[in-house]
Amino acid sequence: MSEIKNYVLEITGKCGKCPSHLMDILIAVQNKFRHIPDEAIECISKELQMSKVDVEQTASFYHFFTEEPCGKYTVYLNNSAVACMMGRDKIAATFEKEVGCKFGNVTSDGLIGLYDTACIGMNDQEPAALINGVVFTSLNDQKVKQIVSAIKAGKAVNDLVTEFDGKENAEMKSEVKNNIRKRGPVLFAEYKNGASLKKLNEMTPDQVITEVKNSNIRGRGGAGFPTGLKWDFCSKAEVKERYVLCNADEGEPGTFKDRVLLTLFPQMVFEGMVLGGYAIGSQQGVLYLRAEYTYMLPRLEKLLAEMRTKNLLGKNVAGKQGFDFDIRIQMGSGAYVCGEETALIESAEGKRGEPRNRPPYPIERGYKNKPTIINNVETLCSVVQIIDKSSAWYRTFGTQYSSGTKLLSISGDCKFPGIYEIEWGITINEVLEMCGAENAQAVQVAGPSGVCISPKQFGRKLDFEDMPTGGSIIIIGQQRDLLKDVVLNFMDFFTDESCGSCVPCRALTPVLKKKLVKIMDGKGVKGDIDELVKLGKTMKDLNRCGLGQTAANPILTTIENFREKYEAMIKEPKTDGVYAFDMAASVKESCDYAGRKVIIHN
Amino acid sequence: MSDNKIKFTIDGKECIADEGLDLWKAAMLNGVFIPYLCHMKDVVPAGSCRICTVKVNGRPMAACTTLVTKGLEGAVVENDTPHIEEMRKMIVELLFVEGNHFCPACEKSGSCELQAMAYRYQMMVPQFSYNFPLREVDATTPKIYLDRNRCIQCKKCIRSIKDDQGRSYFAFYKRGHKLDIHIDHELAATMSAELAQLAMDGCPVGAIINKEKGFDVPIGKRKFDKEPIGTEFLNVTKE
């Protein structure tokens, strides 16, 4: 029997030949064979009793599953807007020179593959890359040379990291820095692990829900749905088998707060899930962790095991008779859309990360089609503090309608990129001062799917009434070309990350990008700007999920706030007619195809 | 089906429908045509083509995935408005430029729902430039051939054509603008003639074509050659 078949039999056997574990199986195959061989797909389909195309449709959906071998060592260099601002292109050139192949390729000996990847959650320490799951940050030419020569000498990537920021990162053997710039009053408030779970003996599930409701906390992932209400609805579902999902698929370019929470307070995250499980009457939680954070997995698994031995998970959790709860971790494999809660559910079930139609909402039919609550990492940590301290305490922070604090992930052109816990209601001007950003040209609030605002609006506030945010704040300095460095990068991102289900998202996003490039190339006409606005607005009306609805936002919000930048690129036509048509280029293209000599008569 | 009847209006027309139906079907039963491409009888709606988007109390929703519930009682639904119709025309145009649709040479001409929609919206030439993508034809299975040039990725074949164990003959491949449709060669090798016919009939365009058989109805006498799409439920007439 071949090695591939042997291996597939071994891992499919381990997970009970269950199709819902397809992601885990594919991740294992990719890691071992550095691609998903056709033979493996064939064998998996037999073992799981699926058709081959059914396996293939999941395998081909995710960025980190490859059809061809991606090298014994695979370098995924971040190409997000901030990575590029921080010198990604120069680092890429150094990688190409040292490795000896271009990006998108593998060296002829199959040793090293170079690939681009979307934001890996390291915007505060770019340029950064993932090499076989290990994160390398603050890259410079010298460091790249050392890494490549060490790899060529056959060293394990893990051993290349020698300096650590704090004991948590040391435990993960990770060189990622926490970069905490401002410790706020909620998430960084003193907390003794396990304290919130002791309260279970004094509180009924309804009391937990009431306390969460009274805190007025709203989801911290970006959508801002009231957490207490979500739990309440789910607890009243008819079906008794229920699930708690934690969304740790932090994919919005520019956010990295969950990375820090999962590094510093992982037990709080898990305790938050337990509280949710107790409140809604669930026995099983799933933490969905993005593939980029695989380096955290062993430490998180170890912690889960410890919590089980301390009776903080398992039977009669924390001594509460009759309350059984456990947590498993589901790894993703590179898909921004999986941050959308229903896509996340699909992915956790081993399928393509395509958002579902709603209704039904997850609180009625979620994971395994059972009632499910899905909460962001930060939300769950806040809930732990609320239960430990009280909702009244929590409400003393923030504003009347936006209670509590928010973690901001600040990156881009500022002196102090990193994590800031702020109270809702802070203005952008205050944020800029706090992070040492002078003379900013623009600020991208809430990531590519959010808004790009101009200095005129820096007096605006971060809260649910004015500008809500999942926490991504990108400062864009005067030296940047806003359209090229930011808007175009974001449009490329959305084009790549669309799941493709909805026609407008799949087909219109590339059209919008093309029109943007046309304007940037100096071939645009005045009507193109209004056309972009008109088409962009249909994206919000027509698409099913948040990704599609907001994919035109980079263009729409920059036209709204920086229209002059677009207009400056429009050359007025000298004559009426077709302005965008380049006769000479077109004749040349035709001649090239026909293999004829180009002769252009003026 | 529930006994509860829900009342609402579509473009001012009073409608009444059973609770639990989808809005697209409810509209149809009330003699209102909402354009469709991915909707399929007796199959759970996918809501992927988005051409059935209507406004419910001002909010855009895909009619096929919106359920008639108590919340819809008294709702004002907009269907045939210039804004909505313009967006629908745009969807048709996007599909035309995204693939390679050469109607005169297509076996499905006259029975093709995409072509019929283009006629409905009087599309002369799309407002977008053609992509002319390179798409492969898969003619390796015995009963059908898959012409991806014409595929609009409506998912109908994926959703409806399964074997007796629930395994799929068709599935998506990749994502976003690289999305493609694949057919399972092993399953397709033993596909029955009936299932092949069902796959072809279900396909709204000419992406799935039966082999070894010509056509019973000549071009010019096919469904949409005789009357425009949607006529069967029409009180609604387009000028």
pLDDT digits (tens, 9 = 90+) for A264-307: 999 999 999 999 999 999 999 999 999 999 999 999 999 999 99
Residues in chain B: 239
Residue A535 and residue B90: Cβ atoms within 8 Å? yes
Select from B172, B184, B191, B205 the residue whose CB has the most chain A CBs within 10 Å, as the one to mutate to test that interface: B172
Overall CATH class of domain A73-177: alpha beta
Check residue A43 and give its pLDDT: 97
Chain B nearest C-alpha distance from A258 (Å): 26
Q: Which of A52, A61, A501 is the closest to B48 by Cβ? A: A501
Residues of A in contact with B98 (CB under 8 A): 506-507
Give CATH for domain A195-395. 3.40.50.11540
> What letter does residue A130 receive in the DSSP assignment?
E
Contacts 24+ apart (CB under 8 A), A191-196: A191/A265, A191/A268, A191/A384, A191/A385, A191/A388, A193/A267, A193/A268, A193/A271, A194/A267, A194/A271, A194/A310, A194/A312, A194/A318, A195/A388, A196/A271, A196/A272, A196/A275, A196/A384, A196/A385, A196/A387, A196/A388
- Beta sheet of B53-56, edge-to-edge order: B13-18, B5-10, B76-78, B53-56, B59-62
How far is residue B93 from each of residues B51, B204, B206, measured CA to CA in Å?
11, 16, 17
Which overall architecture, per CATH, does domain B89-212 show? 2-Layer Sandwich (3.30)
pLDDT at B239 over 80: no
What residue type is A236 in one-letter code?
K
Q: Would the pLDDT of B233 be above 80? A: no
List Cα–Cα distances, A252 to A165, A546, B24, B94, in angstroms.
24, 12, 34, 27
Nearest to A216 by CA among A424, A484, A457: A424
Distance from the Cα of A496 to chain B's closest Cα (Å) equals 6
Minimal Cβ distance to A503: which of B67, B91, B167: B91
User: Which amino acid is located at B120 in the chain?
Assistant: R
Task: Find how far residue A381's CA is from the centre of its chain.
Answer: 19
First to last CA, chain B: 37
Q: Do B62 and A357 touch (CB under 8 A)?
A: yes
Task: Identify the weakest region by mean pLDDT among A90-94, A466-470, B159-163.
Answer: A466-470
Region A364-385: mean pLDDT is 98
Q: Please tell me which residue of chain A has the smallest CA distance to B152.
A: A503
ipTM above 0.85, yes or no: yes
Determine the pLDDT at residue A394. Answer: 97
Chain A residues with CB under 8 Å of B187 CB are 51
Q: What is the pLDDT of residue A598?
A: 78
- Supply the DSSP string of A136-190, one letter for each residue: E-S--HHHHHHHHHHHHTT--GGGG----SHHHHHHTT------EEE--SSTTS-
What would the mean pLDDT of A187-208 be, rounded to a whole number? 96
Q: If 0-12 CB within 10 Å is exposed, 13-18 middle and 19+ buried, where does residue A250 land? A: buried
Residue with tokens 């252009």: A600
Distance from CA of B137 to the nearest CA of A (A): 16
Distances (CA, A) of A350 to A211, A331, A344: 35, 10, 10
Where are the domain boundaries for CATH 3.40.50.11540 in chain A? Answer: 195-395
| Banded model confidence at residue B231, pLDDT cuts 50, 70, 90 | confident
In chain B, where are the structural domains located?
5-80, 89-212
Q: How does residue B230 score in pLDDT terms, banded at 50, 70 and 90? A: confident
Is the dihedral angle over the CA atoms B75, B80, B84, B88 positive or is it negative? positive
- How many helices and strands (H and E) does chain B possess? 7, 10
User: What's at A61, amino acid-wise?
Assistant: F
**C-beta atoms of B173 and A56 within 8 A:** yes
**Which chain B residue lies closest to A536 (C-alpha atoms)?**
B87
Q: Which of A27-31, A72-76, B200-204, B225-229 has the lowest average pLDDT?
A: B225-229
Among A551, A541, A563, which Cα is nearest to A492's? A551
Cross-chain CB nearest to A503 (options B45, B95, B178): B95
Interchain contact, B46 vs A501, CB within 8 Å: yes
Supply the DSSP symbol for A442.
Answer: E
The mean pLDDT of chain A is 95
CATH 3.10.20.600 domain span(s) along chain A: 405-480
Contact B67, B180 (CB under 8 A): no
pLDDT in tens, B41-91: 889 999 999 999 999 999 999 999 999 999 999 999 999 999 999 999 999
Q: Which amino acid is at A70?
A: C
Mean pLDDT, range A531-551, rounded to an integer = 96
Q: Distance between alpha carbon A476 and the CA centroid of its chain, in Å?
A: 20
Q: Would you tell me the crossing angle of helices A257-264 and A266-280 to the nearest 10 degrees?
A: 90
Residues 6 or more apart whose CB falls under 8 angstroms from that of B75 comprise B8, B9, B56, B57
- Angstroms from B220 CA to nearest CA on chain A: 30
> Is the peptide bond preceding residue A127 cis, with omega within 30 degrees of 0?
yes
Q: Would the CB atoms of A507 and B176 count as touching at under 8 Å?
A: no
Count of alpha carbons within 13 angstroms of residue B7, beta-carbon side: 4
The fraction of chain A above a pLDDT of 70, given in percent, is: 98
Residues of A in contact with B79 (CB under 8 A): none
Chain region(s) in chain A for CATH 3.40.30.10: 73-177
Per-residue pLDDT of A37-56, as tens digits, reads 999 999 999 999 999 999 99
Q: Which chain B residues are closer than 8 Å to A335 by Cβ?
A: 175
Domains B5-80 and B89-212 share a fold: no
The C-alpha atoms of residue A340 and residue A345 are separated, in whole angstroms, by 9
The pLDDT of residue A576 is above 60: no
CB contact (8 A) between residue A51 and residue B169: yes
CB A507 to CB B177 under 8 A? Answer: yes
| d(C-alpha B191, C-alpha A447), whole Å | 48
Q: Which of B140, B162, B175 to mutate to test the interface with A (most CBs of A within 10 A)?
A: B175
The pLDDT confidence band at residue B213, using thresholds 50, 70 and 90, is confident
* Mean pLDDT of the region B21-29: 94
What is the spatial distance between Cα B118 and Cα B56, in angstroms, rounded to a whole number?
25
Domain A405-480, CATH: 3.10.20.600
- Note the pLDDT of residue B236: 45
Distance from the B205 Cα atom to the nearest Cα atom in chain A, whole angstroms: 15
Question: In whole angstroms, what is the distance from residue A224 CA to residue A208 CA?
Answer: 20
Number of other residues whose CB lies within 10 A of the CB of residue A142: 9
Q: In chain B, which residues have their Cβ closer than 8 Å to the Cβ of A336?
A: none
Q: Does domain B5-80 have CATH number 3.10.450.50?
A: no
Bridge-based pairing of strands B5-10 and B76-78 is parallel
Task: Find chain A residues with C-beta within 8 A of B169's C-beta.
Answer: 51, 53
Is the pLDDT score of A108 beyond 70?
A: yes
A54 and B167 within 8 Å at the Cβ level: the answer is yes
Half-sphere CA count of B194, side-chain side, radius 13 A: 2
Q: Tell me how close the Cα of A541 comes to any Cα of chain B, in angstroms.
A: 5
More confident residue, A573 or A453: A453
What's the one-letter identity of residue B218?
P
Compute the 3-state secondary structure of chain B and give helix, strand, coil in percent, each to the nearest 5.
Answer: 30, 20, 50
pLDDT cut 90: percent of chain A above it:
91
- Token look-up 């930048």 returns A565
Query: Residues A578, A583, A587, A588: is their CA dihedral positive or negative?
Result: negative
Closest CA–CA distance from residue B178 to any residue of chain A (Å): 8
Task: Catalogue the long-range contacts made by A231-237 (C-beta closer than 8 Å, 24 or more residues apart).
Answer: A231/A276, A231/A279, A231/A280, A231/A373, A233/A363, A234/A280, A234/A363, A234/A371, A234/A372, A234/A373, A235/A205, A235/A206, A235/A209, A235/A279, A235/A280, A235/A281, A237/A363, A237/A364, A237/A371
Largest CA distance in chain B: 53
Distance of CA A344 to the CA centre of its chain: 11
pLDDT(A385) > 70: yes
| Strand, helix or coil for residue A33 | helix
Q: What is the mean pLDDT of residues B150-171?
A: 95
Q: Please give the Cα distance from A289 to A301 (Å, whole number).
A: 12
Which of A49, A500, A538 lies closest to B87 in CB terms?
Answer: A538
Give the C-alpha separation, B169 to A56, whole Å. Answer: 12
Whole-angstrom distance, CA of residue A493 vs CA of residue A484: 13
Give the chain B residue nearest A498 (alpha carbons).
Answer: B176
Higher-confidence position of A599 and A132: A132
Contact: A500, B177; criterion CB under 8 Å: yes
Axis crossing angle, helix A22-33 with helix A52-59, rounded to the nearest 10: 70
Contact B155 A501 (CB under 8 A): yes
Taking alpha carbons only, the member of A526, A512, A518 closest to residue A571 is A526
Q: What are phi and psi of B9, to 5 degrees?
A: -120, 145
pLDDT of residue A602 exceeding 60, the answer is no
**Contact call for B175 and A352, based on CB within 8 A:** yes
Most A-contacting residue of B37, B38, B50, B190 (CB-CB within 10 A), to test interface: B50
Mean pLDDT of all residues in A586-596: 85
| Residues A502/A343, Cβ–Cβ less than 8 Å | no
Distances (CA, A) of A592 to A36, A274, A588, A589, A600: 38, 65, 6, 5, 13
Main-chain dihedrals φ then ψ at residue A283, nearest 5 degrees:
-115, -5
CB B64 within 8 A of CB B49: no
Is-contact A382 A186, C-beta < 8 A?
Answer: yes
What is the SS3 assignment for A342?
helix
Quick check: A593 pLDDT over 90? Answer: no
Please tell me which residue of chain A has the smallest CA distance to B177: A506
Q: What are phi and psi of B46, to 5 degrees?
A: -95, -30
Residues of A in contact with B95 (CB under 8 A): 503, 507
Site from A42, A45, A50, A53 to mutate, B interface, most B CB atoms within 10 angstroms: A53
Strands in A134-136's sheet, in edge-to-edge order, are A105-106, A112-117, A73-78, A129-131, A134-136
